[in-house]
Amino acid sequence: LKPDNYLANIYKLPALQAAPKLLGCILERRTGHGLIQLRIVEVEAYHQDEPASHAYRGLTERTAPMFEPGGRLYVYFTYGMHYCVNIVTGAKGTGEAVLLRAAEPLIGIDIMREFRAQDSITNLANGPGKLAQALGVNSTDLSGELISPTTINLVAPTGPLSKDVIEAAPRIGISKAQDLPWRFYLKDSNFISKL
């Protein structure tokens, strides 16, 4: 499979299957200040049949992007000050997405330091709000196309990850469905949220 087809097939999957496959993929964005790249190390799956998901109560103006075909972005604003970035997956009409929780900075580190007002590399994108801020995401980026030079791009890893470097655990910061182990992260990463 070519890299593009590789990702296109992941976008078609249900969020629960797509989530672990997005680990190791490279997130990139071209900003006015230069190129930013990060390696995804932690994600969470959400879908409409489960009460912790924004899509649980059906299609609303806010959650509409989750019901679009896989490959778009679902960006939401929360706690009065933070943005979070999701990759929508699945077919049109199914409300599901993968929350990007943490990533390892690779390229454009000084740009991210500026966006975050933070010097420590391990503290640039080790949380969903921090990750969005490191990418320079704001209200103009709500629910855009994923594959576009003006928004955010995803690049497949050089090779498939072996299953035993991935850990599954309960999701963070939710009050419902806390038992579901739908959070996935790379075991050996130093860039996970909640160190």
Of the candidates 118, 42, 132, the residue with the CA atom closest to the CA atom of residue 79: 132
Of the candidates 63, 50, 80, 84, the residue with the CA atom closest to the CA atom of residue 170: 50
3-state secondary structure string across 23-55: CCCEEEEEECCEEEEEEEEEEEEEECCCCCCHH
Q: Which is nearer to DNA, 24 or 67 (CB)?
A: 67
- Whole-number minimum distance, CB 194 to DNA, in Å? 8
- Whole-number minimum distance, CB 128 to DNA, in Å? 5
Give the distance from CA 111 to its chain's centroid: 19
Q: Which is nearer to DNA, 80 or 159 (CB)?
A: 80
Which residues are at the interface with DNA (CB under 7 A)? 44, 46, 52-55, 57, 60-63, 66, 74, 77-82, 84, 86, 97, 99, 116, 118, 123, 127-131, 171-175, 193
Q: Which is nearer to DNA, 76 or 108 (CB)?
A: 76
- Whole-number minimum distance, CB 30 to DNA, in Å? 23
- Whole-number minimum distance, CB 9 to DNA, in Å? 21
Cα gap 66→53, rounded to integer Å: 10
- Whole-number minimum distance, CB 48 to DNA, in Å? 9
Token reading at 47? 């879908």
Run of H or E residues at 103: strand 96-107
Beta-strand pair 166-169/34-47: unpaired
Q: Which is nearer to DNA, 9 or 138 (CB)?
A: 138
Q: Which is nearer to DNA, 133 or 151 (CB)?
A: 133
Cα gap 52→69, rounded to integer Å: 21
